[in-house]
């Protein structure tokens, strides 16, 4: 009987330790907006690696979770990095080019043309949904990289 309680106690302790580990290092979030459709749908669960960018550089195409600057609404967002510091972003007739090369992501629904060089400490981000807000974002506002979608 004591062995059973020992096993149950050990199992509960291991599960609690795993949950604490996941909260600290790999929190999960439920998507509540359509900004990344069709890639990520409302209701999907995302696991985010908080410390990924402590060891690796940000790359074009990374899907990141971030707390937006004052340009966006409150709350945390998930978007794709389309340009990194030093890149030139050009948007013309809805087509996005980075360093004069078209990106493979969906177009942007907008009429105005944009050309901007991404300053140091910033990325240019947007959701995969063509009607999604896009723009510069501080690297420091990135919470982590999305590593798993369920």
Mean pLDDT by 10 residues, the chain (150 residues): 83 85 78 88 91 93 85 76 95 88 77 89 90 87 90
What pLDDT does residue 12 have? Answer: 85
Lookup: tokens for 67? 């707390």
What pLDDT does residue 72 have? Answer: 56
What pLDDT does residue 132 have? Answer: 81
């Amino acid at each position: 009987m004591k062995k059973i309680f020992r096993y149950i106690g050990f199992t509960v302790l291991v599960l609690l330790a795993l949950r604490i580990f996941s909260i600290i290092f790999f929190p999960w979030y439920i998507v509540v907006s359509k900004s990344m459709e069709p890639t990520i749908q409302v209701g999907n669960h995302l696991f985010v690696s908080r410390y990924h960018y402590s060891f690796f550089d940000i790359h074009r195409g990374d899907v990141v979770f971030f707390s937006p600057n004052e340009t966006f609404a409150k709350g945390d967002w998930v978007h794709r990095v389309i340009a990194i510091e030093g890149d030139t972003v050009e948007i013309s007739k809805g087509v996005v080019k980075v360093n004069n090369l078209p990106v493979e992501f969906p177009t942007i629904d907008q009429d105005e043309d944009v050309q901007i060089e991404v300053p140091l400490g910033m990325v240019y981000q947007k959701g995969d949904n063509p009607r999604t807000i896009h723009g510069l974002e501080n690297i420091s506002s990135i919470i982590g990289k999305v590593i798993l979608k369920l």
